[in-house]
Amino acid sequence: MTNRHHYTQLIKDEAKRLGFMSCGISKAGFLEEEAPRLERWLKNNMNGEMQYMENHFDKRLDPTKLVDDSKSVISLLLNYYPEQTQTKESYKVSKYAYGQDYHFVIKDKLKHLMHFIQDEIGEVSGRAFVDSAPVLDKAWAAKSGLGWIGKHSNLLTQKVGSFYFIAELIVDLDLEYDFATTDHCGTCTACIDACPTQAITEPYVVDGSKCISYFTIELKDNLPSEFKGKFDDWMFGCDVCQDVCPWNRFSKPHNEPLFNPKPELLSMTKKDWDEVTQEVFSKVFQKSAVKRTKFSGLTRNIKFLGES
């Protein structure tokens, strides 16, 4: 048995023990197929006001420019599909933001995995990434065989759908590499047909500047009046393209206690949200990703929904 095989198995077993849904590994290098796509997307201003997407173009496409001597990209998926969802009488929060901020939850698990690798294998250098640096998470996860990129541009997996986070460790260690899987979207256009703002402009292309998630989280200015009545009651993020995807009927609830929501989030109604105070906001979204939009951002979104 080669060392590469042994190390690869050790890492995958530990990832599973830490609660990750799956782990796939790719050879670090330049993402040739992604380069023209990213260039076209930026050229068409589909990043809206997300200027940071224009930075570090070369690093985004080549992890060897992010981590010296990197050899492998270890991609990991962590389920966040909730057991219970909000009451139907409520304005909606994207399921990924129900519990504690995933950045911290996953960073902790990645630190454990990195320490495990160093303890078991020896001097290995690397960096952990959770949506926090110019890394094309979905492209690496697809390259590592963890799923395919669907027409809504999210990673999809036959057995579990798409309600999971993607993270990676980029390390200077040679490992055994996985193979990409095939696309199973077929002729289905459920996500394209259901998008309330027509943000999926063609299969596999999402205009970020028209996406409800962009409006409710990233956009700091006033919400554009031409989209009034089109937000489908989403006050933070949007799950429409995932909710309608046939593959998500295979989603199973996560078993990460830190992703469980505060009971108030599940029971609050539109009337409660219309009258929400800073105090309630801080309690319901303690340590939550919703804090990114701040109390002022959330109340702006709620007001917009109320006027629609």
Alpha helices of the chain — where are they, by DSSP H? 3-17, 34-43, 57-61, 102-121, 137-143, 190-194, 212-213, 240-243, 263-267, 270-274, 278-284, 294-307
Catalytic annotation, pick one of 13, 108, 131, 193: 131
Q: What is the mean pLDDT of residues 44-65?
A: 74
Q: Which residue bears the tokens 């950045």?
A: 103
Amino acid letter, 16? K
β-partners of residue 166 are 77
Task: Give me the count of residues in the chain.
Answer: 308
Amino acid letter, 202? E
- DSSP secondary structure code for residue 216 in this structure: I
pLDDT, residue 55, reads: 65
pLDDT, residue 66, reads: 87
Domains of the chain: 3-171 (3.40.109), 190-249+261-307 (no CATH)
Residues 6+ apart with CB under 8 A from 44: 207
- The kind and range of the H/E element at 92 are strand 92-93
Cα distances (angstroms) measured from residue 292 to each of 69, 92, 206, 239: 34, 16, 22, 18
Residues 6+ apart with CB under 8 A from 218: 48, 49, 50
- DSSP secondary structure code for residue 161 in this structure: B
- Tell me if residue 131 is catalytic: yes
Can you give the pTM of this predicted structure?
A: 0.93
Of the pLDDT bands very low, low, confident and very high (cuts 50, 70, 90), residue 52 is low
Report yes or no: 139 and 34 within 8 Å, Cβ to Cβ: yes
Of the pLDDT bands very low, low, confident and very high (cuts 50, 70, 90), residue 45 is confident
Tell me the pLDDT tens digit for each residue of 77-121: 999 999 999 999 999 999 999 999 999 999 999 999 999 999 999
pLDDT, residue 53, reads: 66
Q: How far apart are CA 38 and CA 149, in angstroms?
A: 14
The mean pLDDT value of the chain amounts to: 93
Tell me the pLDDT tens digit for each residue of 234-275: 999 999 999 999 999 999 999 999 999 999 999 999 999 999
pLDDT, residue 37, reads: 79
